[in-house]
Structure 1
Amino acid sequence: MIRHATRMLAIVYCVCSQPAYSSYESQAVTPPLSFSQFCVQNPEDCQRHEDRRIRDFRSSIQRWRELAEINSTVNFSIAPKDPLESRSDAEWQIFPYDGNCGDYAVTKRHLLLRSGWPSSALLLAEVVIRTTAEHHLVLLVREGRAVLVLDNLSPVVTPLVDALDRYIFVRAESGVDPQRWTREVAHF
């Protein structure tokens, strides 16, 4: 009995002594296998890119339009794959004829990188859709203080705060290093 109580106290001490922002959130995690394969085939898209955009009031409005246009264009340009076929497809491609959520997300990211967006603002994120429990890939875009979600399941660009009721975040690219993935959602 005393041994059990001692163990319980030790566990309580360990749990309670950890800060609320514990290392769990900022811990690096293994990226999806599809991402690793994509980077072998498309190394340029997996490197760090600096911001090459013009910064003024008018360009800010243009960037919002660019996000909406790319989201819409890619969503309508790629035919959705049959869900059964898509589950076995682990290879992400840029501009395929038909594709899964990974293909949509990397195509959008590719176009935005080519438009001068920095890699630190374009983060692939794996989520679980709350209603279906399916794993899904979206593109998170940081624009100023806003974090926006570009998703092939939505015709419009959505603020992250509005998407949180639809998704459970599993892991995402780090804004510091495109090759590093974390569970950290707080710093998007």
Structure 2
Amino acid sequence: MFGGFVKLACWAALLTGIAAGPAGAVSVSKEMTVGGRASAPVGYVAFCRAYPAQCLAYGKPAEIPLTSVRLRELEDVNISVNRAIAPRTDAELYHVEEYWTLPFAQGDCEDYVLLKRKELIERGWPSGALLITVVFDEAGGGHAVLVARTGAGDLVLDNKVDEIRPWYVTPYVYVKRQSVVDPNAWVSIGDPRWPVPVTAAPR
């Protein structure tokens, strides 16, 4: 693993070149562009009824400077949760289409997200910098990731990969996410990499 300063230098070089892509390439900001209000996933609404403390706002709704310590926290939590939880669908575990919960040994994509968010908040991250985000994956299926808002841009914690990635290099179509100021409000996401608007979102 690279040292913290080397890794941060690599991040800086990557993010500096965002707007200057190949001719004809779409310019993408290091932060997502959000739009109007969106509906909260039904599984999230039920989760908040069962675990109301997990759906409160904690800390100030600000992006976090990406120091080597903060980057290591993201990496540690992403890897540890990915390795601790075996992937299983809600249908396999609970015999229902959608069920969000804090996992113990097995879980679906949103369960990984909930546990990572919980652990990072316990490490002092504000909830407004840790946004549950709904996407379409490479196969067109619904998927959930955790987006960390940092001074280096929006970074993705994903149960499919251990690497922390800027949102715009992932293969996903971004649909909606939690509001920065209110974890119970959701907003749509404008993804300039995909010219066709997304009209239907995963539940």
- TM over 0.5: same fold? yes
In the alignment, which residue of structure 2 is the partner of 1:43? 52
CA contact 2:85–2:112 (8 Å) conserved in 1: yes
Shift of 1:185: 4.5
Task: Please say if 1:106 is aligned against 2:111.
Answer: no
CA distance in 1, matches of 2:67, 2:154: 14
In the alignment, which residue of structure 1 is the partner of 2:152? 145
In the alignment, which residue of structure 2 is the partner of 1:159? 166
* 2:126 counterpart letter in structure 1: P
In the alignment, which residue of structure 1 is the partner of 2:27? none
- TM-score, reference length from structure 2: 0.70
In the alignment, which residue of structure 2 is the partner of 1:27? 36
Q: How do 1:1-188 residues align onto structure 2 when only pairs under 5 Å count? A: 26-51=35-60, 60-82=67-89, 85=92, 88-129=96-137, 131-163=138-170, 166-185=171-190
* 2:81 counterpart letter in structure 1: V
Give aligned-pair identity as a percent: 32
* 1:135 counterpart letter in structure 2: G
Q: After the TM superposition, which of the residue ranges 99-108 and 39-48 deviates more from structure 2?
A: 39-48
CA contact 2:90–2:107 (8 Å) conserved in 1: no
CA distance in 2, matches of 1:32, 1:177: 15
* Structure 1 runs not aligned, ≥5 long: 1-24
- Please give the secondary structure, in 2, of the residue aligned with 1:91: coil
In the alignment, which residue of structure 1 is the partner of 2:197? none
- TM-score, reference length from structure 1: 0.75
How many equivalent residue pairs?
154
Shift of 1:82: 4.9
Shift of 1:176: 1.4
Shift of 1:157: 0.9
Higher helix share: 1
Q: Which has the larger radius of gyration?
A: 1
* 1:114 counterpart letter in structure 2: E
- Please give the secondary structure, in 2, of the residue aligned with 1:156: strand
- Please give the secondary structure, in 2, of the residue aligned with 1:90: coil
Cα distance per residue 1:99-141 (max 9 Å; x no partner): 1001000000010111110111000000001x31110000000
